[in-house]
Amino acid sequence: MSSGYEVVDKGHVGGQEQISSDWKTIQVVFHDFAELPSKRGDRTLSPVLKCHGLEWQIQLYPGGHSKSSEADAYISLRLRSKSCSKTNKMKIRAKSRTRIPSAGKETGGRTFRIYSASADGGSRSWGKNDYAKREDVLKASKHYLVGGNLTVEVDIQVMLDEPPTWTPTNTVCSDMLKMLDSADAETADVSFEIGDGDKTATRSRKDDFQFFYAHKNILSTRAPVLAVLAGDCSPGTAIPISDVHPDLFRMLLRLSTAVKFPERMCSKKKLAASSKLPIGLVALDSN
């Protein structure tokens, strides 16, 4: 109900559900399930998986948790929080659903609070101690195992105090590399003729040199030494640089453009063989 006055801020005390994030799924495959340690209380941990900016582990007890029913042998599946939330003023709440997709079995959905540690100093975990009977999991007709492996999926939803803020993906580096990789005599305003040998040999054998195209504005900021070499040369005049391996120069251009190595990198021997390696370092360190 509105009072007609300007409300500059708003809060609730009790009765307010936090905003739910989207459900996101983590998955782990436990290989050779039948061979895993299966005494009551034996535990197999998944690698640390990331979801909603937090770290998680899926815990599998092939022979049941210590708190599982003793009437029969069960497997237990639990979700473990590896992230510390004590730094947050509001303790984070979450929901989870655990699923074995091949068997079509899913449990969970309740809300829990994520704490950094339990009373005994270990990480908190949530799940079902009597998830499924072990004998059912081992039966081929129940379809829990695929090729002897057990695939477990956990859906996680985090309760947020505020709606998630949309942040656009930063594509500056990839866009700059696309511009560099697509540069040619028409789009670039500076070119280099790079040869791994003396100038005469370079010009006499085309296989010994390569042309590289770049942009002076980028070089003046990111690789000033190369910008000075370019000087006032016209775009159609290639600047010769000998005794530098083309792969090394390609790395230099990509580093100066987007701080990223090319996928095709030359061997360490080729780099070491270049007598002008310091030029590349100076070109970047002068930045």
Mean pLDDT in the chain?
78
Per-residue pLDDT, averaged over 24-51, amounts to 94
Residue 237 binned pLDDT confidence (cut-offs 50, 70, 90): confident
Supply the pLDDT for residue 92: 72
Supply the pLDDT for residue 217: 87
pLDDT above 80 (res 276): no
pLDDT above 50 (res 232): yes
CB 137 within 8 A of CB 170: no
Give the burial string for 13-48 (b: 16+ CB within 10 Å, else e).
Answer: eeeeeeeebeeeebebebeebeebebebeebbebee
47 vs 91, more confident = 47
Of how many residues is the chain composed?
Answer: 287
CB 102 within 8 A of CB 151: yes
Per-residue pLDDT, averaged over 28-43, amounts to 94
Supply the pLDDT for residue 135: 95
Supply the pLDDT for residue 110: 75
Q: Which long-range contacts (CB under 8 A, 24 or more apart) does 86-95 make?
A: 86/115, 86/116, 90/161, 91/115, 92/54, 92/158, 92/159, 93/18, 93/158, 93/159, 94/52, 94/156, 94/157, 94/158, 94/159, 95/20, 95/156, 95/157, 95/159
212 vs 277, more confident = 212
236 vs 266, more confident = 236
Segment 53-93, tens digit of pLDDT = 888 999 999 999 999 998 899 999 999 887 754 444 446 77
